[in-house]
Amino acid sequence: MAGVHFHESGREELYITSFPRANGRWQISQNGGTAPAWRADSKELYFYEFYGSQTQIIAVEVVANGQQFETRNYRKLFPLAHILAGGNANFEVTPDACRFLIAVQPEVAAAPISLTLNWTGKLK
C-alpha cells in the first residue's frame, strides 16, 4: 500500500492503492489531507488535515478486506499551529505510535526596544 494524494477534487485528498500493481484506489481523507505517514505496522495512516487556519494531525486505521480497503476509527489527534511547509510529512511516528516528532516553525517574539532620549545629558 502507498499513501498518494491527488488534486482531482480541487483540494489535496489522500488515497491508497495496492502495491506494486495499483488495483483500484480508495479515498482516505474526509476533509482534504496531505503529508501521509504510515505507522510501522502499516495498519494506521497519519496525515495533516486543514480546517481554515487550523491544522490537525489525523489518524485512521486502514484494513485490507480482500481486494478492498476499509477505514476505521478516523480521529483528530491534536492541532498544530505552526507546521513547516513542505511536500513530505514533517513528522515522524514512533513504531508504537505513542510519540510524534514534529517539525514546527518557532514563534519568534520581538525583543522590546528601549529608546533613551538626551542620553548625552545623562553622562554628566
Which residues, other chains included, contact 108 with Cβ-Cβ below 8 Å and sequence gap of 6+? none
Band (73; pLDDT cuts 50, 70, 90): very high
Q: Which residue has the higher pLDDT, 68 or 44?
A: 44
Task: Enumerate the domain spans of the chain.
Answer: 2-107
Q: What percentage of the chain exceeds 70 in pLDDT?
A: 82
What is the C-alpha separation between 5 and 34, in angstroms, rounded? 7
Q: Is the pTM of this model over 0.75?
A: no
29-50 pLDDT tens trace: 888 888 888 888 888 999 888 7
The mean pLDDT of 14-30, rounded to a whole number, is: 81
